[in-house]
Structure 1
Amino acid sequence: MREQVVTVGHERPLVGIFCEPSSADMTDSRTAVILLNSGVIHRVGSCRLTVTLARAIAQTSGLSTFRFDFSGIGDSEARRGTLTAEQAAVEEVQEVMDHLSSWKQYDRFILYGLCSGAFAAYRTALEDPRVSATVQLDGYCYMTPKSYLLHYSRRLSSPGRWIKFLLRKLGLFKIKRGAELSGIDEQFFEVPDFASYPPKEDVAKGLEQLNLRNLQMLYVFMGNEHYKYETQFLDCFSSVPFKDNLKIIHQPLASHILSEPADRQTVVEAIAAWVKSTSRKLESHQAPRELDSPVSHGP
């Protein structure tokens, strides 16, 4: 396995780390995995999750990976423009895909992201057919009747919660949330913000398009206040006729940023194994690349 710093673009380039298996270990020369920032966290990821995952995929799955910083984050300088942050993220992922296609002739990409990185992966997949698979940690999902029932029934039936409620009202107890619990500076802490999600109907329509395209999807949901049971995603988007292109993993005891080493290892191993099997599936379902066909170098 070999790692090197790679810059993408000439003016104010995006900076990332390209991780490539040895030629003997490489299993798929057409597919690369791109790992996206979560919030404003540097490309190493929370608790070095992105570094660990990128290397695990290269070692166990035989695929090259590229972890990079969006503009204005980490080592990538800010860029001026009129695009929103969401639009710029999609454009920059496509810029990275163009670069990797031209440099290493990859024509299939698997996008990975946690929280806002997952949302960027989803939006890019909608815009670009070169995205063959996505790995989304705590991606878009909404409450269902069952999740509401589980959410409130557990609270109403818990004596401890009633005691804490009374202590809070008396000013004797303060709840610690998010950044306070994680030890991460608040400006770098990101949690799912359901209030800012797009309408559920819009996401369902997007998933229908991706499903028709047979996009391979892995969703991993950790323990949080909104995702309550393993099949909540399927219940939430019951109108989408998923087949064998969707896998869901629920880790109800794991934190959003996978702060515990054991949880992190479990999720990393599961993702690496899924990426490996998905790469084989993509290879078996697509025709060989024509030797005389020109490789797209982007616009």
Structure 2
Amino acid sequence: MRSSSISAGQPLHKGKIMRERVVTVGDHLPLVGIFCEPDADRVSDSKTAVILLNSGVIHRVGSCRLSVSLGRALAEHAGIATFRFDFSGIGDSDARRGTLTANQSAIEEVQEVMDYLGKWKKIDRFILYGLCSGAFAAYRTAIADERVLGTVQLDGYCYTTWKSHMMHYSPRLLSPTRWLTWLLRKLGLRKVKKGVEVSGIEEQFFEVPDFASYPPKEDVQQGLKTLNDRGLDMLYVFLGNEHYKYHKQFEDCFDDVSFKDNLTVIHRPNATHILSEPEDRRRVIEAITDWVNEKLPAY
């Protein structure tokens, strides 16, 4: 584990209910983030913080500034500190050389941040938030470190089921329009548009779930059993994509795990993966804030 030095700059944003400041973590090639905390009279839990993780190579502000809005909402409405930071080589954090894979270094860097917050603010309990690859990093870190008491994962690991296959392919097989579109594409008469072209987002910042690169389902299921037995609180939010088709798909997928009241699943099929619509972002932020408020008393 790398040693970390504490370096907190002047507040960037100071209002009646919270304040933000730039923080650097580490002596050499530090990780850069924004620590957001409620004012002292509004703190509901001084020992717990939410750490918000990068999605792909997107800067710590998050897609459509989601991480900024969520971090501030949690400080304002849940009375809990948040820290959104850039992994090394992303945003304002310099690249670090080493022999670890990206997955391994992500775990180490989250742990480095947790060590730092523990030393600086005496925080020793953490909720990890992430979208897509950030969700995967949250899951892996939770397995590696028992200081993580909860995870909020947007489009985290899940696999298809027989029901999702039926829901996915039945409408396509019965649709004359889709057959015509398929024929036109095969004949080269209609171009296939990529998600990048439709969204207008630069390709380097466009991250979608890559199901082919997921670890084996059995490995994730075993990890979930470990976390479930430990009592980890899990909030999964699944957004509109071609593979997650119905609300209970996650539970059906991992039906060997005896989830209890520590699992909450939200399905918003009409929302885009990056929550590009303001109303979708608002509802997801409210749902996460409500979930955190519900779980905090147990910590």
The Cα shift of 1:175 comes to 2.6
1:258 aligns with 2:241: no
Instruction: Give runs of aligned pairs for residues 157-236 of structure 1, distance below 5 A.
Output: 157-236=174-253
Match of 1:243, SS state, is: coil
Q: Which residue of 2 aligns with 1:238?
A: 255
Q: Give the equivalent residue in structure 1 for 2:289.
A: 272
Pairs within 5 Å for 1:4-83: 4-83=21-100
Q: Secondary structure at the match of 1:139?
A: coil
Report how far residue 281 of structure 1 moved: 2.4
The aligned counterpart of 1:290 is none
Match of 2:126 among 109, 127, 131: 109
- Of structures 1 and 2, the one with the larger relative CO (CA 8 A, separation 6+) is 1
The one-character-per-residue Cα deviations of 1:218-270 (angstroms, maximum 9, x if unpaired) are 00000101101000000000000000000000000111000111111111111
Query: 1:174 & 1:261 partners in 2: Cα distance?
Result: 30
1: CA distance, partners of 2:243 / 2:158: 9
> What whole-Å deviation, never above 9, does each CA across 1:148-181 have from its counterpart, x for those lacking one?
1111101112222122112212322223222112
Q: Quote how far apart the aligned CAs of 1:24 are.
A: 1.2
**Which residue identity is paired with 2:59?**
H
Rounded Cα–Cα distance in structure 2 between residues aligned with 1:100 and 1:116: 23
Give the secondary-structure state (helix, strand or coil) at the position aligned to 2:152: strand
1:56-88 C-alpha deviation (Å, 9 max, x unpaired): 111111100000000000000000100000000
What's the TM-score, normalizing by structure 2? 0.93
Distance 2:296 2:199 in 1: 34
* Partner residue, 2:5: none
Q: Which runs of 5+ in 2 are unaligned?
A: 1-17
Unaligned runs of 5+ in 1: 283-299
Q: Distance in 1 between matches of 2:274 and 2:41?
A: 34
Could you tell me which amino acid in structure 1 is paired with residue 257 of structure 2?
V
CA RMSD of aligned residues (A): 0.8
Deviations 1:20-45 (A, max 9, x none): 00111110011000000000000001
Letter in 1 for 2:263: L
Distance 1:168 1:203 in 2: 36
Question: What percent identity do the matched residue pairs reach?
Answer: 71
**For this pair of structures, how many residues does the alignment match?**
282
Give TM-score, length-normalised by structure 1. 0.93
